[in-house]
Amino acid sequence: MRSIWRTLDRTVLTDIGLTCLAVFFIGLSYGAIAVASGFPLWLPAVQSVLVLAGASEFLFIGIVAAGGSPIAAALAGLLVNSRHLPYGLALPPGVTGRRWSRLPGTHVMNDESVVFALAQPDLRRKRAAYWACGLGVLACWPGGAVIGGLIGSAVHDTSAFGLDAMFPAVILALIVKDLRDARTLRAALAGAAIALAATPFLPAGLPVLLALAAVLLLVRAPAAAASTSPGEEPAVAQVRTAP
Amino acid sequence: MTGNALVVAGIVTLAAGTYAFRLSGQLLRARITFPPRVTRLLEAAAVILLAALVATTALTEGHGFAGFARPAGVLVAGVLAWRKAPFLVVVLAAAAVTAVLRLLGVS
């Protein structure tokens, strides 16, 4: 633990802290919504610790509250969480821990911990950022869910504070560095377009997976990209601000 | 099974399956030696996934459009992030813009 504080500079730690605070607030609304939907407090508490993946938990309580089967809800949640498989492929070995520490290290894999790890320049700092964010989310998500469940309706309408805009903003802020590469940006925009086009028709989770098809844009010869990249910058900047 | 037991079974299924997803990508990665080009591609794939996640969580709710307030907040955040504004500013701006728009009656 102590090595985390020594390895990461203050800015990264502050960013992780803010991200965890945002997760805490979303957790508040999750706990409040679960209890308001008629579930006992233990359900969001237990689920937030064991599953530790927000979107799938919202979906689970939504489906069960609407009268759906809990098993069908679990399968829908698994579809949403399938993106963790490519996350594991993207992380360099050792980031989630070695030997026994990999067991808890695997559990704290989520959008936030992965994106902070990817943003760090070397393995030591990737590992520190991954664990700091992963453990922070492990504390803040269930903590928020329990407190939200206890105070209930007081925090039911978190949309008034714009908290729902924080999650996409956090992720976007952290991948912007990668998006400055013209080819990655083009593939990311294509992937986003695929996911958006598929959203009205497919169950939750599947559209984001389909976005992976945009990786094909990056498979082709790297030589072609090297020769075109300088002239492409203005066009790319325009595309970025258009949507 | 009683209702509660079925809900517990659902939670356990979701938790175990999610853990399996979290583990299996890493096991594949540890087992196979990828050339550097493929490694870069795998990392780009994660960025594409995250970008798609940003787009869908910013613009959609369920199967439909989320309304204008949230994507407007995320767009402002994106512009600020592109201009290298501090993370704190980016994230708070997203929430503030969305909240103010809703206060003004924009859903």
pLDDT given at position A123:
94
Cβ distance B59 to A111 less than 8 Å, yes or no, reads: no
Same domain, yes or no: A148 and A115 = yes
Q: Mean pLDDT of residues grouped by 10 in chain A (243 residues)?
A: 75 93 89 88 96 92 88 92 94 91 95 95 95 97 94 69 88 92 96 96 90 90 47 39 38
Which amino acid is present at A133? C
ipTM of the complex: 0.90
What's the half-sphere exposure (Cβ side, CA atoms, 13 Å) at A11?
7
The domain of A150 spans 2-176
Q: Which two tokens stand for residue A103?
A: 């067991």
Chain B nearest-CA residue for A84: B22
Domain boundary among A176, A207, A225: A176
Same domain, yes or no: A152 and A66 = yes
Query: How many structural domains comprise chain A?
Result: 2
Same domain, yes or no: A28 and A131 = yes
Cβ distance A88 to B29 less than 8 Å, yes or no, reads: yes
- Sorted by where each begins, the domain ranges of chain B are 1-32, 46-107
Q: How far apart are CA B100 and CA A209, in angstroms?
A: 33
Residuewise pLDDT in 10s, chain B (107 residues): 557 899 999 999 999 999 999 999 999 998 888 888 888 888 899 999 999 999 999 999 988 999 999 999 999 999 999 999 998 899 999 999 999 999 999 88
Chain A nearest-CA residue for B101: A162
